[in-house]
Structure 1
């Protein structure tokens, strides 16, 4: 197996596991005790400090904060920061499975954005697949208005916020591919956390001075914040590894695998339920990705090779 493809595969699977099962659980636990804005600021700021301590001598701040990196910092701050913020608010208003199902759209959304901004080719088939995935996700979002579907689909409010955050995350992945060609995974990790720190700081100040929820020490907060710092750095690092080694639309396939890990964690630890609407939404969303990425006519082995971009 080609070394680059293998490393890309590690990035895709690792990001899918952390993003589907671990991160949502830690965020849900942490934001139950701490305001989401403060929780996010703690995780990204601490991550940035740790990275600068470990790698500051290798990447001087003048080499990081320059005009060349400014567009990346802005897009990362807005795109990933929007996703980070909205997800932390929404996760307590939806289910783990539904939250990750919405992110199934990421591969086709990044493919469309990559066509617009990174000059990756798009076809009518990809557009058709995008529309099918969109229908699947919209069925989930609209059906979540029903109180009877709450235990399976979550709430309309939570799913709507996560849908908007998904678009921001897709933009982040797309522009990361554009700017990380000549950068190492560690450099991209530092820049991403730095951009998120800048984005989250004013929101944390708002939560500190204008809300009734203030930070305090407790073991659940300490454990969740510590866990989220370690897991977030690993998630961003694995995502950037996949982006660097694979085409952007293929790197985004971690989002296609995340619902399976989310279902495992959600059903076992949170007693979430599968419903016909949830399954229909998932099938349509994944089928749209299959059509969009030209996997429909392949056999199982070829399908997996294209999915993971493995070449013997």
Structure 2
């Protein structure tokens, strides 16, 4: 019988998986009305306002110079770099490709944990990771296999860069857990860094925010608001709460629920089409994930 804190954690993380599963299609749809850089800057601006308010309710302590440095570097990778690559990727590729490629993310983090922290990876997990990697490569080069234009391939490469920067952020996050810094403070601070780091780039590229925001249709404003408040502040808060009562390895399993929500939306809402190559890549990834994570779950139990 599960304890109440564990059941709460499961509910929180399932809701987060649902929200982040919706996030990809929402980003893709909203990019139809506003390009990636102003979209992301606008999103971080809203999240930053909420973050500044939330600081009044978050217990925090004074950080030393080294701790501030790590927090800022983490924020750059977790917000600025990773989401910038994701948004550009979604601007160029399909939601289906993105969902397939990002399924490899938990396994990539496991590999990084092995390389950086010497975390144990069993032979079974190595086989699963190898199969999932084959499926991911198939998903990445799918445009070449199907003789499509290079823009979609570029998008897939940007999604891979998102995976790499997100993995670096995960490694830094693990280091931060040892420093006794409030996770909610780190998360909300990363939104502010995201805004402050992207704003100069937007100004450099002559992005006229007043004109863009004033002429933006309501449906696209709603997309930005969803990403800022629901997928941003709310989801990250629930994610942090969900992590408190269960193991990190167990919490990572919930990320595999995201494609269950994003894939139907990509097909039914965005009208994207699947192909034989897509199903081939998905098959390798699904088999690889099952092999790798089934053993890990048994060990956790």
TM-score, scaled to structure 1: 0.81
Alignment correspondent of 1:299: none
Alignment correspondent of 2:128: 129
Instruction: Tell me the SS of whatever aligns to 2:62.
Output: helix
**Aligned residues, how many?**
294
Q: Once the 2 structures are TM-superposed, how far is the Cα of residue 111 of structure 1 from its aligned partner?
A: 0.9
Instruction: Tell me the SS of whatever aligns to 2:104.
Output: helix
**Conserved? CA contact 2:79–2:191, under 8 Å:** no
User: C-alpha distance in 2, partners of 1:59/1:42?
Assistant: 27
Q: Once the 2 structures are TM-superposed, how far is the Cα of residue 28 of structure 1 from its aligned partner?
A: 2.2
Q: Are 2:254 and 1:272 aligned?
A: no
**Conserved? CA contact 2:131–2:284, under 8 Å:** yes
Residue ranges of structure 2 left out of the alignment (5+ in a row): none
User: C-alpha distance in 1, partners of 2:279/2:57?
Assistant: 50
Pairing 1:27-176 to 2, within 5 Å after superposition: 27-56=27-56, 58-59=58-59, 63=62, 66-146=65-145, 155-176=152-173
Alignment correspondent of 1:223: 222
Alignment correspondent of 1:187: 185
User: C-alpha distance in 1, partners of 2:195/2:63?
Assistant: 14
Q: Once the 2 structures are TM-superposed, how far is the Cα of residue 139 of structure 1 from its aligned partner?
A: 0.5
RMSD: 3.0
User: C-alpha distance in 2, partners of 1:85/1:275?
Assistant: 28
Alignment correspondent of 2:197: 199
Q: Once the 2 structures are TM-superposed, how far is the Cα of residue 140 of structure 1 from its aligned partner?
A: 1.1
User: C-alpha distance in 1, partners of 2:17/2:152?
Assistant: 23
Q: Are 2:234 and 1:237 aligned?
A: no
Q: 1:213 to 1:51 in 2, by over 3 A?
A: closer
Instruction: Tell me the SS of whatever aligns to 1:67.
Output: helix
TM-score, scaled to structure 2: 0.84
Q: Are 2:14 and 1:16 aligned?
A: no
Residue ranges of structure 1 left out of the alignment (5+ in a row): 297-302
**Conserved? CA contact 2:34–2:220, under 8 Å:** yes
